[in-house]
Amino acid sequence: MLLIAISCSDKENRKKYVLVIHGGAGTIERASMTPEKEIAYKQVLEEAVQVGYQAIQAGKSAVDAVEATVHVMENSPLFNAGKGAVFTHEGRNELDAAIMDGRNLMAGAIAGVTRVRNPISAARAVMEKSEHVLLSGSGADSFAEQAGLEMVDPSYFYTKDRWDGLQRALELDSVEAAQERKNHQASSLNAQMIDRKFGTVGCVALDNKGDLAAGTSTGGMTNKKFGRIGDAPIIGAGTYANNESVAVSCTGWGEFYLRNVVAYDLAALMSYKSLTVQEAAARVLKKVETAGGNGGLIALDKHGNMTMSFNTTGMYRAAITDDGKVEVYIYEDE
């Protein structure tokens, strides 16, 4: 599929962006979107970038802006993160998140938590209040509680839309579906399976001091089994930030982003081959597509150049410039 990229350019008088977000990539088409739902998505996306922008305008750090921005999306049932997280095969919500500070390459991540209301804050707590980078499962929940974060009963994450999505996925995962896959006759099934993996939210920010940060939060993939963890909480795969180059947050079929170390690869292409952020994004997404995966990413470099690139039919995304101009998009033709 043709790579779609929204970025700053000479034609746009070299806008300087300070914050960019995504709310997941996948099969997102006007024909299947009601006007009311489209408005709802765009309202939350705009609210999220405005919250982050206000943090930056107030002199707060890029890390602060990323955390505050991701909170907005985690608190909305529209996105596969926090309140809107998808269900595992066992009917649980297992949440992953990561955050990285471009100033010093400090990073924190959590995977498989079930009781933290805002997983991005748990990731930040790991970064700032522990000697570790990644904590998982009940241990990560316990750490978050000891760190003073808001904890909730797992029932908080229930939404009917996500529960119904699990039921559809379980039906596809039946014995008959398994036989179809075995016989390599499941093209339509595979198309539906692919979209189970999308919906991650992410943010990249550039603050007034020139520091970069990136954060990503997700509920993973619908019907995931065996404690599956995707790319979102893995530093260098789904999340990366370095003041010397770029901040990146990815969304898509996590296994392919893990294998291609997409977020770090994008930064390396900029550092070692002097590619622009747009060129590097196109290169890494082509690798993902060639390998059989798809999705998207957002990236913001140290000069305020950004890209919102994807090779699916849509990606929920928004950005704001240093003078407060907001851009919000959903579909591939925007």
Tell how far CA 98 is from the center of its chain. Answer: 10
| pLDDT values of the chain reduced to their tens digit, one per residue, 334 residues | 456 665 554 444 579 999 999 999 988 888 888 999 999 999 999 999 999 999 999 999 999 999 999 999 999 999 999 999 999 999 999 999 999 999 999 999 999 999 999 999 999 999 999 999 999 999 999 999 999 999 999 999 999 999 999 998 898 877 556 566 555 444 444 444 444 446 799 999 999 999 999 999 999 999 999 999 999 999 999 999 999 999 999 999 999 999 999 999 999 999 999 999 999 999 999 999 999 999 999 999 999 999 999 999 999 999 999 999 999 999 988 8
Rounded Cα gap, residues 100 and 250, in angstroms: 13
**Active-site residue among 200, 239, 307, 313?**
200
- State both tokens at 250: 């990815």
Residue boundaries of the structural domains of the chain: 4-331
Q: For the chain, what is the HEC assignment?
A: CCCEEEECCHHHCCCCEEEEEEEEEECCCHHHCCHHHHHHHHHHHHHHHHHHHHHHHCCCCHHHHHHHHHHHHHCCCCCCCHHHCCCCCCCCCCEEEEEEECCCCEEEEEEEECCECCHHHHHHHHHHHCCCCEEEHHHHHHHHHHCCCCECCHHHHCCHHHHHHHHHHHHHCCHHHHHHHHCCCCHHHHHHHHHHHCCCEEEEEECCCCCEEEEEEECCCCCCCCCCCCCCCCECCCEEECCCCEEEEEEECHHHHHHCCHHHHHHHHHHHHCCCHHHHHHHHHHHHHHHCCCEEEEEEECCCCEEEEECCCEEEEEEEECCCCEEEEEECCC
pLDDT at position 187? 44
User: Domain 4-331, what fold?
Assistant: Glutamine Phosphoribosylpyrophosphate, subunit 1, domain 1 (3.60.20)
pLDDT at position 192? 45
Q: Is 200 a catalytic residue?
A: yes
Contact residues for 301 (Cβ-Cβ < 8 A; gap 6+): 245, 246, 247, 270, 276, 277
